[in-house]
Amino acid sequence: MYFSEAILKKKNTIKYDTFWYTIGTISNSATSVLLMLFVTRILGVYEAGIFSISYSIAQLMLTVGWFSTRSFQVSDINEEFKFNDYLSFKIILSIISIIGGIIYSLILGNDGYELLVTILCCFLNLGDIFADLCSARLQQLDKLFIAGISYFLRAVGYIFVFFVTLVISKSLAISILLAFLYSIFELFIFDRSIIKNLNCRLDIGTYFNFRNILRLLFACFPLFISSFITNFIVNIPKNAIEIAFTQDVQAYYNIILMPSSLVNMFNMFIFVPLFTKIARTWNVGNFSKFFKLLFSLILLLLLISSVILIGCFILGIPFLELLYAVDLGEYKNAFMILICAGCLTGLNSILSYVFTVIRKQKIVLLAYIFGLIAAQVSINPLIQNLELLGASIDYLLGIGTIALFMVISLFIVLRKKNIK
């Protein structure tokens, strides 16, 4: 296609990459907030509760579909694996993610309508799974701005489709289905044509090299488990709320939790464009520059987090009340705890990538296992005594445990390398 050829010829810079990736990430990040907003406003709090737990299950299964291959693929500077290896792996993971979503929903006791919504949300994930694959390839070839454009086109498009369908049909299931169809359409028209042009010398057809798929599985497994556990930690309070409280309470918790995930997304669209530079600095053995770059990123993260915390303390709850038309005054403390957890999640994401670059993924795995244990052991007494506040504390406890373990481990690893 002429359009794909023209966009590939566009000269890009770090600023251009950052601009479009920022636009794309903001659009993509806004989807969960806006979908929840539309459901709450149009269908009510009860339907919002059903959607929130179904969407949460789907997001957990999304980590299965992603399998944390992006960090590995971006840092695969020497093309250890072909694009087709990653593509084949994603196809298998997509099928597993849908089956996993069904099983998870049934374990929580969901059937009928709730199960249907969960299944549709899992299908909606397919767009994100394959967009992640294409985005990683584009970043690997210093074309990150195209990934940002793709995110923007897909997110804005299916948000619009979802909203219009929900207004007209008043059906959550139909709205999710049509949003899914648009998402796949965008990937086929835009991303597929771009990737085909980038891989004109490769066999773009789908093939299954099971030896390479197994190698990818083992290489990315520690990072996948880390990502899966992170999302499972997010879901631990939601699962407890689903069992112990009503769908209304589920909706309130997800409303105050939503900005926490956006904080991490906001941090990532600033730092992701620099990930390739971090990998190259390490790979050429410039450890001193690597440390300085990492230290600068963490300082910037602390600065951004401080601004976010102050802003959320002053404006967070009033803004959410205005946005969702619900009373959240009693949940301010829980909200601020969740925002703190969101800031720490940003740090965990950066450190996870760093450990991937230096090929120490097992450290990340251990960190997340300890975080999971801390959150799971604490959830019942916390939620029984403090309800939603306890759920928020439990989430912070899990994320904080991960951050502490990784910071200490990174210090030990860098000290062994004599990096100053």
Tens-place pLDDT, residues 12-35: 666 777 788 778 877 887 888 899
* CA pair distance 87, 103, nearest whole angstrom: 25
Residues 259, 118, 246, 390: what is their CA dihedral angle, to the nearest 10 degrees?
Answer: -40
Express as a percent the part of the chain with pLDDT over 70. Answer: 90
> HEC states along 52-97?
HHHHHHHHHHHHHHHCCHHHHHHCCCCCCCCHHHHHHHHHHHHHHH
* Contact status, residue 354 vs residue 413, Cβ threshold 8 Å: no
- Collapsed DSSP state (helix, strand, coil) of residue 273: helix
Q: What is the pTM of this model?
A: 0.77
Q: What is the mean pLDDT of residues 217-240?
A: 84
pLDDT confidence tier of residue 200, bands split at 50, 70 and 90: very low
